[in-house]
Every structure is written in C-alpha cells, then in structure tokens.
Amino acid sequence: MEPTTLTTDRLTLDTFRPEDLDEVLAHCQDPDIQRWTTVPSPYVRQDAEFFLNRIVPDGWRNDTEYTFAVRLRQGGPILAAAALHHPRSGSWEVGFWTAKEHRGRGYMTETVLALARWAFKDLACTRLEWRAEVGNVGSLATAEKAGFRIEGVLRAALPNKGVLRDSWVGSLLPSDLGLPGSLPYLPAPQAAPRSAPPSAPAFEA
C-alpha cells in the first residue's frame, strides 16, 4: 500500500519522513517510552535512522505495518506515533506512543479512533487489538477511552528488551463504533470454561 494521510478534527496522521529524524531521536530519549514500548534502550541516532529508512517504508511496502506520525492539522512538531501491524486472520493490532509534553490532551485517543475507523472501513479489519505490558496505565487509559473492551491478561506474551512480560489485551470491533463488519459475528454464550471452577472468573482481568 502507498502511504496514506488521515485527518481528525484536530490532527493529521501521515507517514514519517527522513527529516523527522531529530524529533524521533529526541522523543525516544523519554524513559517512559523506552520502558513501556519496544524501542531500543538506549536509543541512538542509528535506531532512528533504521526506523525511518527501513521499518516505516518496509511496513507500508509489504503491507505488514502502517506507521503514522501524528501532528496538529495546522502543522508543527510530531505529537505522537501510532501504527497498525501484524494482520492475523483479519485482525490488526494498534501500537502507539505520545511525546511527553503532549500527553493528557486526548490526542492519542483521537488518533486511535481514526486508525480504527480506517482499518474497519478500508482494510477489512474484523477486530482491532490493543496490547500493553501490565502496569502501563497510560496506555490502558487511552484504550479504555477509545472504547476497547479489556479482555484479560496474557502471561509471558510481550517480549521487551530480552524479557518476557505479562500483557493486557483488549479489542475493538466495528460494531463498537457503529460500523458494519466485513463478516457476521456470532458471540459465544457467556459461560466459564469447563476447566474453571464454577466460582472462578473465566479470565484474569
């Protein structure tokens, strides 16, 4: 796919450009971004170059990861980064980070919802997943504000810097946004798995 541009009331989502290198390098020095995402730590200039020159264009070219830089519609610095990646049986996963000085303004919730609508309408996405390491309350807050249903905890599901970590997982369906799905959905009856005691919850959440 050729890189595309999405807009919201306040934001423009478009692809990263080589001239964004210094901004990406600066934002990824943030200890929170290094702690809670899979960006390298320490993050050096070569990492930003690899991201801009290989990861971003290869993802679009191979239809495996669509990465966006988030800016205000009137222009200005990069506020955040967000991506849809790893299609599995029609589902995609969203990932994101927000520059420290631009947090708390709802930019990422707005971004995630724009990506979700695009994925459901144009990519035939059947289910959009969100995952984050247990404890990443900022990412959790964004997911909940965007309408994701938090489904539980996956053990040892998130490799980050050589360590397997437990991961929260949540999902957003087209119907959650009032959109038609590309396939009909038949929910399972609300019953606990046979292996679980009657009094135990079906999932750890």
* 141-167 per-position pLDDT tens digit: 999 999 999 999 999 999 999 999 999
Mean pLDDT of 31-47: 96
Mean pLDDT of 101-130: 97
Contact 15, 121 (CB under 8 A): no
Which string of DSSP letters, residue by residue, matches 2-23?
----EE-SSEEEE---GGGHHH
What pLDDT shows up at residue 193? 59
Q: Which pLDDT band, with edges at 50, 70 and 90, does 190 fall under? A: confident
Helix (H, G, I), strand (E, B) or coil at 155: strand
pLDDT at residue 203 is higher than 50: no
Q: How far apart are the first and last CA of the chain?
A: 36
Q: Which pLDDT band, with edges at 50, 70 and 90, does 194 fall under? A: low
What pLDDT shows up at residue 89? 81
Please indicate whether residue 147 or residue 194 has the higher confidence score (pLDDT). 147
What pLDDT shows up at residue 192? 58
Q: What is the mean pLDDT of the chain?
A: 92
Helix (H, G, I), strand (E, B) or coil at 98: strand
pLDDT at residue 181 is higher than 50: yes
Q: Which pLDDT band, with edges at 50, 70 and 90, does 195 fall under? A: low
Bond from prior residue into 42 cis (ω within 30 degrees of 0): yes
Element (H, E) at 85: strand 80-88
Q: Burial code of 128-151, b = ≥16 C-beta within 10 A, e = fewer?
A: bbbbbbeebeebbebbeebebeee
